Structure 1
Amino acid sequence: MKSWVEVSEERLTGNYRLLQSAAGGGVAVLAVVKANAYGHGAAICAPVLARAGAEWLGVTDVTEGVAVREALAAAGIVHERQPRILVMSGLLREDCEDMIRCGLTPVVWQREQMEWLADAAARYGDEAMPVHLEVDTGMARQGVTPGPELDALLAWAKDQAGVRIEGVMTHFASSEVAASVQTAMQRKRFEQAMTAIAGAGLHPEWVHAGNSSTVDNPSNEGNVAWLRALAEGVGAKPMVRTGIALYGYCLPIEGNGRNAVRQTLQPVMTWKTRVIGLREIEAGDTVGYNGIFTADRKMRLALLSVGYADGLRRELSASNARQGGWAMVKGQRAAIVGRVSMNLTIVDVTGVGEVALGDEAVVLGDGVTADDHARLAGTIAYEILCGVQAGHRCGVRAG
């Protein structure tokens, strides 16, 4: 294997427990493992998080939910002790049988979704299907809109025997912004929705909102404290949903604020490859496609078996006019030279010492982070991590 990801179970467990501590007593922390655990491998991360105490896991769709159930069972965690699994990004009619068979909990916001589930529950289940109702408070993405649309859905749902609104949730659009006006507006709309839900005679067991930055941003007028009070006011349990922070990253707080846990989190992923070629070039020699890099001195170059097909961003390429990314070889920075290719990347190991064929190089990990990649690629760490195995060429190992 020439390119692989190593996942630190110790760091993942530590990050989860740090976030649980930051959320505070009485607030559950849903651990998001969607998008193959942000590129880290859900089959590895889900059991680790379950053993760390996660009561809930979050996935994108039914297919991911089924795979996570299977991974938990393969890890020796019996079904009765497995976390609940929240399917966070909608469903279609054909998903409902697997939803019930695998004991998954769907997020819903449309009557059609609930009708499909009620019908499936009548055919395949023996009790009402628990669902979590999402309220759109300002994202215009998923969720029922507070007001007449929500009122009509509640009037229909409260008399249905096949589905049960177990939870109510919303998603903040700007939780990384200190004292966010948008978040304040979303909180007000969610409070109005909870009033309507209580007025309809419905009593959810869970109320949840927010993401990693909700926990990491104490300057945003106490979102977690607000959530706790809101949930307790309707006799429910509060929950926050953490994703990228589990894996060691979080967005910087914008505005006049500070991060509560960002500096303490530890990156979980180490992405490695191997040196498969070595050569020396002279001053004036060009490197890579289009010859965008020309050596100004004698150099020793190492060829790495990784490229943009594996998720190493082409924006990390380097020319004489622009510094690019780097890998870590023997604990030292080895700068990328020339363009990142589809399956190959060239780095400068002139001053690194005795580099040999087969030596490991760290593409992402200690010394070269997803934040470093994101800054050079003009994106965010989320996209870097999720893209690591985009080409499905990387293996995953627990560590």
Structure 2
Amino acid sequence: MKSWVEVSEQRLAANYRLLMEAAGAGTAVLAVVKANAYGHGAAICAPVLARAGAKWLGVTDVAEGAAVREALTSEGISSAMQPEILVMSGLIGDEAGAVVRHGLTPVVWDRQQVEWLAGAVSRAGSGVPLAVHVEIDTGMARQGVRPGEDLDELLGWLRAQSGLRLGGVMTHFASSEIAGSPQTVEQAGLFEEAVGAVKAAGLQPAWVHAGNSSTVDNQGVKNFGEGSPAWLRRLAASVGARSMVRTGLALYGYCLPIEQASVSSTKEDVVRPGVEPRLQHVMTWKTRVIGLRDVRPGDTVGYNAIFSAQRAMRLALLPVGYADGVRRELSGSDTRPGGWVMVHGRCAPVVGRVSMNLTIVDVTEILDVAVGDEAVVLGEGITANDHARIAGTIAYEIVCGVRASSRLV
């Protein structure tokens, strides 16, 4: 095995419980396990979260939902105790039958989706209506039905289908990590109008949900109003529903930094982050040294000779590269330091270009390194935030890009 991910069961469960506490009494927390649990391994993370108390899991598509359902069953979690699984990014016609077979809850926003699902329920012949969640597009312009006439039409189509029922109404905020964001205020207002339209149409959702990890973390801001879990609870209660937030990255130990809105916020508005300092990183990504080499002063290393040894050096070869998720921006050159890994608890800087499946690190100052020794690519001493800073991206992209087998520890 050239590299592997160790997932801390204790830390993952602790993060979930922390987020439940931070969201507040009366607000459920949907645990997002899409994108293979953000690179951590959905098949192992989903059962951990279920045992920690998660009543809802979120996946991208029907195939992910079916795989998560299978993982829960294979772990011995009875069907009665399994969380609901929300398919958050739509479906196409030939997936509707799998939604019904695997007991998934789809997000819908147009007539075609409603008709596909109603047909699948009719063919299944169970006589049990399928719950769907309607997504409202309040400003992302990505997916969801627009408030107003489009929403009214969709609700009419939904009412006409005896095989479907409205299980929830949801939206997604585009700027949750920005304290006092005017966009969030605007989106919240549109969502309130949409929820009111659902009530006026005579439909009764069980759930009203919005917000992500940053929504929970943003509670360190004074007077956090529209978009907050407290605001969401009030909105849900106005239609006799429960509120829910959807947390993803925070489950795995990371949050985007809370920023200030450039116009409406002042420095005094920001008190402290809500949960980020208490989150624990769940992933440790490891590999092994597969080769050692001594180089002389003046020798160049890797593609394009961007690194030249200024002294005698000992280099270790690792069997991971950008095909495995080690970003090429972590390359170290004569003019710019790159990333690093941890060997024997010490930093081993990357030298030369990160290759497709190989990376070279400097272990000159680390005693007794041998072939077969472990190297930590992500974990204690080197985090996804470190990778993201060097690569000019966000921690989401780093952890989601990891391609290695996962195991619980």
Q: Structure 1 length normalisation: TM-score?
A: 0.98
Structure 2 counterpart of 1:396: 406
CA RMSD, Structure 1 to Structure 2 (Å): 0.9
- Asked whether 1:230 is paired with 2:235, we answer yes
Structure 2 counterpart of 1:67: 67
How far apart are 1:221 and its partner, in Å? 2.6
Determine if contact 1:276/1:358 at 8 Å carries over to the other structure.
Answer: yes
Determine if contact 2:252/2:281 at 8 Å carries over to the other structure.
Answer: yes
- Asked whether 1:31 is paired with 2:35, we answer no
Aligned equivalents of 1:59 and 1:395: distance in 2?
Answer: 19
Determine if contact 1:216/1:259 at 8 Å carries over to the other structure.
Answer: yes
- Asked whether 1:263 is paired with 2:277, we answer yes
The within-5 A match list for 1:105-184 is 105-124=105-124, 125-184=126-185
Q: Does the residue aligned with 1:351 lie in a helix, a strand or coil? A: coil
The within-5 A match list for 1:362-373 is 362-373=376-387
How far apart are 1:2 and its partner, in Å? 1.6
Q: Does the residue aligned with 1:263 lie in a helix, a strand or coil? A: helix
Aligned equivalents of 1:138 and 1:382: distance in 2?
Answer: 22
- Asked whether 1:288 is paired with 2:298, we answer no
Q: Pick which of 204-213 and 297-306 moved more.
A: 297-306
Q: Does the residue aligned with 1:57 lie in a helix, a strand or coil? A: strand
How far apart are 1:4 and its partner, in Å? 0.7
Structure 2 counterpart of 1:12: 12
The within-5 A match list for 1:340-355 is 340-355=354-369
Q: Does the residue aligned with 1:19 lie in a helix, a strand or coil? A: helix
1:330-385: CA deviations, max 9, x gaps? 00000000000111111011111110110000000111000100111111111111
- Which amino acid is 2:407 matched to? R
How far apart are 1:300 and its partner, in Å? 1.0
Aligned equivalents of 2:117 and 2:70: distance in 1?
Answer: 22
- Which amino acid is 1:110 matched to? D
How far apart are 1:155 and its partner, in Å? 2.4
- Which amino acid is 2:373 matched to? D
1:60-102: CA deviations, max 9, x gaps? 1110001001100111101111000000000111011110011
Aligned equivalents of 2:107 and 2:156: distance in 1?
Answer: 18
Q: 247, 258, 263: which one pairs with 1:242?
A: 247
How far apart are 1:281 and its partner, in Å? 1.1
Structure 2 counterpart of 1:188: 189
Aligned equivalents of 1:330 and 1:221: distance in 2?
Answer: 47
How far apart are 1:159 and its partner, in Å? 3.1
Number of paired residues? 395
Aligned equivalents of 1:132 and 1:155: distance in 2?
Answer: 15
Q: Does the residue aligned with 1:310 lie in a helix, a strand or coil? A: coil
- Which amino acid is 2:164 matched to? V
Aligned equivalents of 1:117 and 1:308: distance in 2?
Answer: 40
- Which amino acid is 2:408 matched to? A
How far apart are 1:205 and its partner, in Å? 0.4
How far apart are 1:105 and its partner, in Å? 0.3
Structure 2 counterpart of 1:374: 388
How far apart are 1:160 and its partner, in Å? 2.3
- Which amino acid is 1:221 matched to? G
Aligned equivalents of 1:382 and 1:179: distance in 2?
Answer: 23
Q: Does the residue aligned with 1:217 lie in a helix, a strand or coil? A: helix
Determine if contact 1:335/1:348 at 8 Å carries over to the other structure.
Answer: yes
Q: 275, 292, 299: which one pairs with 2:313?
A: 299
- Asked whether 1:277 is paired with 2:252, we answer no
1:166-217: CA deviations, max 9, x gaps? 1000000000000000000000000000111111111100000010000000
Aligned equivalents of 1:25 and 1:14: distance in 2?
Answer: 17
Segments of 5+ residues of structure 1 without an aligned counterpart are none
Structure 2 counterpart of 1:320: 334
How far apart are 1:144 and its partner, in Å? 0.4
Q: Does the residue aligned with 2:259 lie in a helix, a strand or coil? A: coil
Aligned equivalents of 1:155 and 1:71: distance in 2?
Answer: 36
Aligned equivalents of 1:361 and 1:312: distance in 2?
Answer: 13
- Which amino acid is 1:116 matched to? W
Which aligned segments of 4 or more residues in structure 1 are displaced greater than 3 angstroms? none
Determine if contact 1:59/1:86 at 8 Å carries over to the other structure.
Answer: yes
Structure 2 counterpart of 1:359: 373
Q: 222, 225, 230: which one pairs with 1:221?
A: 225
How far apart are 1:243 and its partner, in Å? 0.2
Q: Pick which of 250-259 and 194-203 moved more.
A: 250-259
- Which amino acid is 2:69 matched to? R
Aligned equivalents of 1:62 and 1:335: distance in 2?
Answer: 41
Aligned equivalents of 1:89 and 1:16: distance in 2?
Answer: 23
